[in-house]
Amino acid sequence: MADLPPPVQGPTAKEKKYDRQLRLWGANGQVALEKSHILLINSGPGVVGLETLKNLVLPGIGNFTIQDSAVVSEPDLGVNFFLEEEHLGGSRAEHTCGLLKELNPDVNGNFVSEPVESWISHPDVLFPYTLILATAPIHPLVLSTLSAYADTAQIPLFYVHSVGFYSHFSVHLPPAFPVVDTHPSPETTSDLRLLKPWPELLEYATQKTANLQGMSPDDHGHVPFVALLLHFLEEWKKEHNGEVPQNYKEKTAFRETVSKAARTNTPEGGEENFDEAVAAVLKSLNPPEPSSSVKDIFKAPESLLIRHNSPSFWVIANAIGLFYTKYGVLPVPGAVPDMKARSADYIELQNVYKSKARKDLAEVVESVRFLERNANRTAQIEEKNVEAFCKNAAHIKLVRGRPFPVIPREGEVKFGGQARTLAQQLSFPDSLLPIYIAFLAWDKFTATHSPQAASSALIIPGLSPTDLASETENITSLAFTIVSDLVKEASASPDEADFATVKTQIGECVQELVRAGGAELHNIAALTGGIVSQEIIKVVTEQYVPVDNTCVFDGVRSRTAVFRV
Amino acid sequence: MAEATITSSSTVAGPRAKWTYLDKFLNRTGPFTDPDSFQPGKTVIESLERSKVFGAGGLGCEILKNLALSGFKDIHVIDMDTIDVSNLNRQFLFRAADVGSFKADTAARFVEKRVKGVKITPYCGKIQDKDEAYYMQFAMIVCGLDSIEARRWINATLVGMVDEQDPDSLKPLIDGGTEGFKGQAKVILPTMTSCIECQLDMHAPRAAVPLCTLATIPRQPQHCIEWAHIIAWEEHRKEITLDTDDPEHITWLYQQALARAQEFNIPGVTYSMTQGVVKNIIPAIASTNAIVAASCCNEAFKLATNTNPFLGFPETDNYMMYTGDESVYTYTFEHQKKDDCPVCGLGTIARPLEVSPNMTLQDFVESLAEKPEAQLKKPSIRTGEKSLYIQSLADLERQTRHNLEKKMVDLVEEGEEMVITDKAFPTQFKYKVVFK
Ligand SMILES: [Zn+2]
């Protein structure tokens, strides 16, 4: 070609390096990661925490700090990838920090070798961190302090435990953790409003289907399926007292009508646009009703009462709630899936949806401005945030974060409102709850057998072969107490045989757990670190849907399970 | 519970000191260990250290680290790629200064330096460069290959190696793959359990956009990019081989796509999207690679040591699917072996294949690349009677080319068996024609 294209602003060095992840969480997500400062409170063999950090340093979190008072010893070298022989006898915090920093020059790393209990007693020492990751074994007093801090500072706290072939983690999120950008799968997002069309959409359909029967084969094969369905719906309504197909039977009958209208005397023996219309009937002919979890968000106390300092999420939620009350539908998201059509017809259809989406957005923005004035808010919410909310309104999520149970040195483990559901899940075949209960019993053992002062070294079960059998027995009985208390708290009366099976399972899990003698297996730590780092990315970027609030991994059977505790 | 050798409570001196943690599992039985196959202590330690294992693929960094820290001592790795700057967000053994070097070399040197006592033998090339004798030396194969073609090749090779008289000829294949926040890991005992070919429909290729859409009625920005990629390049720059890593080439495609999009009022063409479509980029992050590679290596460790039951034992779960974008969800199940599998099946049953009677052989040949149950890019097709189209030899290609214009209905009969071969795979695929 004679005319060379003008030079293009290609990707920056950073965009090149992060290309594969920017395609997931975009520039906004990356900015959020870069603003974060993650604190790892490390203990035990210390692998799972570092494997988690590795997967966060690589994609470029802003800062991390490792608190770890351990001294590097020979066994570290057989399980921890971020230590070398020359580090033996040195500070584990310092050397793991050094090798992790090598992974990404854009990331700042710091370390603290001071023991955790004295370090966290300095005033405001936790202030710089936007997220805390604590690994077991940890003194219950320290974990309680962290939990209380997470509550007041409203920052996420992760507690991770990886022992042998098992692992679990719990996350304590702020009491309201909303996510707008949930990245729903594309198949679930199409919202065409075929049962609630607006005048411009109907007008479009009428225009594109005028003289349908008399159309040339090429025209007939290119009518967008949205126009076809709207056309046949109008025909159907004429014969059904103005009603659209109501139930499965009527929808299948309607589908048959559409199918029969396709021409078969074509070279392919059918028409792609009609195939698309037929395929869309059952999926698209549903009233565009938002899910109950979305409607719950509109009714949440934070949404009902907007104050001058309410987070913008709630202001927009209130405004969209108003829109829903007024029209019985959410704002039109505006996206149109690809379909067989001529370019101009498709673009025209896209514009019909886009302009309706813009109109709905304008109305929501107006409500937002009204709420802002009423609540005397000083800064205006950016319109692009309102737009993002409107586009994904059907898929927004609200996680009600809560503290996970910290095993007390004395007294029972309480499950409160979750007791009933948990007790029910106990009896599910293949439930991984027995593993979680074994972990709680493991924590209970450590809490009760270690000296009371937070500064004392923790007692790890299964370390010595001579105590293996007695410690297994001890933790099994602790686990049985926990599960019996759970059943009692839930006022459940499980079938005796079922309960005996559950106890056998718990006994096996305890045995497997104590077998490890507190050891981490590198693979399980790496896998768990992978899952935890995914969760941290989701929480930091406020994208995708985080675990609520506990996850267990079983490396014997290669399964995970998520519970709310 | 028993303990085979006596270890003191925290640190032991001597050569096993480093493996204090690992030895807890190698020395102690657990509630799920099978007493017939698990021999704690010296026996299992020696057998683990003797096991020669093979690793390859985009998950290579993770796999090498995990195998080395699982106690394997003799690891071989193959990778043909050189390090690109876009690898650095997840392939943690590589630094900016390594860009351009061979991945296999750099990774092997790094892990050998970090984990003392492990020997890693790199080969910078294709897995297809090696023969059966090479793969025969390993106890198992751990792969996280990016291309389905390479997966199918190693699978067919390992199935072909199995000699019923020689139990050592059965090499377990542990395979993993990721996309974004999702991934899967599976264990295959060639000829005994479901193989990659049995599972082929779980990896259906994305449907290609019909050429006529690209040529006449584009609607999406991707259509404009594909048009630039497939049609415009051929028209204007035929003499230059397209190099998707050359920024000038991508820029040219981007400009072409943008101009076409403007002509049709289609919004949304960007440089990044152009790159993504042309290079078929799959989003990838360190976290998911860590999960899937560790799952594969956990199975490898269990297989080598019997410290716990592994996935893939016949008639048990052999496949784990992981989804992390909406909470965390895994589905672990037994993928059934298929009797009509062209690779590990009985060899007598042909897999049914839907064929439109009125399509030409040319269209049929092209459609094989996309059909989930076939995915063959350069097929040669024979029936019991005749050669329909052979592309593997230039002479035969010339002799059979005239068939391409013929309709399928004039070439084959309902129920007739077709034997399809493709240079990419050391096997033949049998299909039975089903007219639709
Ligand atoms: Zn097979």
Q: Which of A257, A200, A269, A248 is nearest to A229 (CA)?
A: A257
The reported pLDDT for the residue numbered B12 is: 61
CA–CA dist A493, A426 (Å, integer): 12
CA distance A314 to chain B (A): 22
The first and second tokens of residue A87, run together, are 């580090």
Reported as type and span, the H/E element at residue B57 is: strand B52-57
Domain-located, residue B191: yes
Inspect the interface and report whether the beta carbons of A8 and B116 lie closer than 8 Å.
Answer: no
Q: In terms of residue numbers, what domain contains B395? A: 351-435
* Cis? peptide before B403, omega within 30° of 0: no
Tally of CB atoms within 10 A around B131: 9
What SS3 class is residue A554?
strand
CATH of the domain at B250: 1.10.10.520
For the stretch B140-160, pLDDT in tens is 999 988 888 899 999 999 999
The first and second tokens of residue A369, run together, are 């401005």
The reported pLDDT for the residue numbered B270 is: 95
CA–CA dist A130, A127 (Å, integer): 8
* pLDDT of B73 higher than 80: yes
Q: Beta partners for A108?
A: A63
Same domain, B57 and B177: yes
The single-letter code of the amino acid at B129 is D
Same domain, B238 and B359: no
Same domain, B40 and B104: yes
The reported pLDDT for the residue numbered A472 is: 97
Q: How does residue B393 score in pLDDT terms, banded at 50, 70 and 90?
A: confident
Partner B contacted by A332 (CB < 8 A): no
Tally of CB atoms within 10 A around A206: 13
Q: How does residue B377 score in pLDDT terms, banded at 50, 70 and 90?
A: confident
* ipTM tops the 0.90 cut: yes
CA–CA dist A155, A174 (Å, integer): 6
Residue B7's region, left for phi above 0, alpha for psi from -120 to 50, else beta, is beta
**How many whole angstroms from its chain centre is CA A530?**
14
What SS3 class is residue B104?
helix
Partner B contacted by A242 (CB < 8 A): no
Question: Which parts of A202-253 are beta strand (E)?
Answer: none
Inspect the interface and report whether the beta carbons of B114 and A75 lie closer than 8 Å.
Answer: no
In this prediction, what percent of chain B has a pLDDT beyond 90?
70
* pLDDT of B395 higher than 90: no
Cβ contacts from A onto B, under 8 A: 274
Partner B contacted by A465 (CB < 8 A): yes
Torsion of CA A97, A103, A107, A109, to 10 degrees: 0
The DSSP result for A297-345, as a single string, is: HHHSHHHHS--TT--HHHHHHHHHHHHHHHHSSPPP-------S--HHH
Q: How many residues does chain B have?
A: 436
CA–CA dist B310, B320 (Å, integer): 12
Ligand 1 centre distance from Cα of residue B433 (Å): 20
- Lowest model confidence (mean pLDDT) among A318-327, B162-171, B353-362: B353-362
* pLDDT of B321 higher than 80: yes
- Shortest CB distance from A526 goes to which of B66, B89, B115? B66
The DSSP result for A455-518, as a single string, is: TSPPPPTT-STTTHHHHHHHHHHHHHHHHHHHHHHTT----HHHHHHHHHHHHHHHHHHHHTTT
CA–CA dist A61, A43 (Å, integer): 22
Domain boundaries, chain A: 13-181+523-563, 192-286, 288-399, 416-518
For the stretch B78-87, pLDDT in tens is 999 999 999 9
What radius of gyration do chain B's Cα atoms show?
Answer: 25
* pLDDT of B8 higher than 60: no
- Shortest CB distance from A555 goes to which of B1, B71, B298? B298
Same domain, B92 and B159: yes
Are the beta carbons of A553 and A166 closer than 8 angstroms?
A: yes
Place of tokens 């409170």: A41
Domain-located, residue B7: no
Same domain, B52 and B169: yes
Q: Which of B184, B218, B225, B222 is nearest to B203 (CA)?
A: B184
Partner B contacted by A1 (CB < 8 A): yes
Place of tokens 């389905």: B148
CA–CA dist A286, A300 (Å, integer): 26
Q: Beta partners for A164?
A: A520
CA–CA dist A350, A337 (Å, integer): 9
The reported pLDDT for the residue numbered B351 is: 81
Q: How does residue B370 score in pLDDT terms, banded at 50, 70 and 90?
A: confident
The first and second tokens of residue B119, run together, are 């020997």
Is B212 one of the annotated active-site residues of the chain?
yes
Same domain, B176 and B291: yes
Domain-located, residue B98: yes
Place of tokens 């009937």: A281
Torsion of CA B53, B58, B64, B69, to 10 degrees: -110
Same domain, B72 and B143: yes
**Total structural domains in chain B?**
3
CATH of range A13-181+523-563; options 3.20.20.70, 3.40.50.1000, 3.30.1330.60, 3.40.50.720: 3.40.50.720
Average pLDDT over chain B reads 91
- Shortest CB distance from B294 goes to which of A9, A15, A526? A526
pTM of the complete model: 0.93
What is the average per-residue pLDDT within B336-346?
89
CA–CA dist A64, A38 (Å, integer): 5
The reported pLDDT for the residue numbered A309 is: 94
Q: How does residue B396 score in pLDDT terms, banded at 50, 70 and 90?
A: confident
Place of tokens 């593997």: B392
Q: Taking CA A51 as the corner, what is the angle to CA A45 and CA A52, rounded to the nearest 5 degrees?
A: 115
Ligand 1 centre distance from Cα of residue B336 (Å): 9
- Lowest model confidence (mean pLDDT) among A357-366, B62-71, B105-114, B341-350: B341-350
Are the beta carbons of B434 and B353 closer than 8 angstroms?
A: yes
Same domain, B189 and B99: yes
Q: Which residue has the higher pLDDT, B417 or B299?
A: B299
Place of tokens 């990707």: A11
CA–CA dist B332, A558 (Å, integer): 7
Q: Which of B284, B222, B87 is nearest to A24 (CA)?
A: B284
Name, in order, each residue with C-beta under 8 angstroms of B232's C-beta and a sequence gap of 6 or more.
Answer: B253, B256, B260
The reported pLDDT for the residue numbered A286 is: 86
CA–CA dist B389, B381 (Å, integer): 5
The reported pLDDT for the residue numbered B7 is: 38
The first and second tokens of residue A125, run together, are 């020492």
The single-letter code of the amino acid at B77 is V
CATH of the domain at B324: 3.40.50.720
Q: How does residue B115 score in pLDDT terms, banded at 50, 70 and 90?
A: very high
DSSP single-letter state for residue A131: E
Same domain, B178 and B253: no
Are the beta carbons of A530 and A55 closer than 8 angstroms?
A: yes
Domain-located, residue B3: no
Partner B contacted by A557 (CB < 8 A): yes
The reported pLDDT for the residue numbered B6 is: 38
Place of tokens 């997966």: B151
Domain-located, residue B74: yes
Same domain, B216 and B314: no
Q: Which of A128, A147, A198, A161 is nearest to A44 (CA)?
A: A161
Inspect the interface and report whether the beta carbons of A557 and B317 lie closer than 8 Å.
Answer: yes
What SS3 class is residue B364?
helix
For the stretch B230-246, pLDDT in tens is 999 999 999 999 999 89
Place of tokens 């993650």: A38
Same domain, B174 and B224: no
The reported pLDDT for the residue numbered B5 is: 39
Same domain, B230 and B133: no
Choosing among A95, A268, A515, which should be mutated to test the B contact, i.e. which has the most B CBs within 10 A?
Answer: A515
The single-letter code of the amino acid at A173 is L
Partner B contacted by A46 (CB < 8 A): no
Name, in order, each residue with C-beta under 8 angstroms of B28's C-beta and a sequence gap of 6 or more.
Answer: A465, A468, A515, B1, B2, B3, B4, B40
Question: With contacts defined as CB-CB under 8 Å, which chain A residues touch B247?
Answer: 10
Render each residue's pLDDT in chain A as its tens digit; 565 residues. Answer: 444 555 567 789 999 999 999 999 999 999 999 999 999 999 999 999 999 999 999 999 999 999 999 999 999 999 999 999 999 999 999 999 999 999 999 999 999 999 999 999 999 999 999 999 999 999 999 999 999 999 999 999 999 999 999 999 999 999 999 999 999 988 777 889 999 999 999 999 999 999 999 999 999 999 999 999 999 999 999 999 999 999 999 999 999 999 999 999 888 788 999 999 999 999 888 888 899 999 999 999 999 999 999 999 999 999 999 999 999 999 999 999 999 999 999 999 999 999 999 999 999 999 999 999 999 998 999 999 999 999 999 999 999 999 999 998 888 888 989 999 999 999 888 899 999 999 999 999 999 998 888 777 889 999 999 999 999 999 999 999 999 999 999 999 889 999 999 999 999 999 999 999 999 999 999 999 999 999 999 999 999 999 999 999 999 999 999 999 9
CA–CA dist A508, B39 (Å, integer): 20
HSE toward the beta carbon, residue A232, CA cutoff 13 A: 25
Are the beta carbons of A229 and A206 closer than 8 angstroms?
A: no
What SS3 class is residue A108?
strand
Inspect the interface and report whether the beta carbons of B308 and A73 lie closer than 8 Å.
Answer: no
Choosing among B8, B225, B326, B436, which should be mutated to test the A contact, i.e. which has the most A CBs within 10 A?
Answer: B326
How, if at all, do strands B319-323 and B182-188 pair? antiparallel
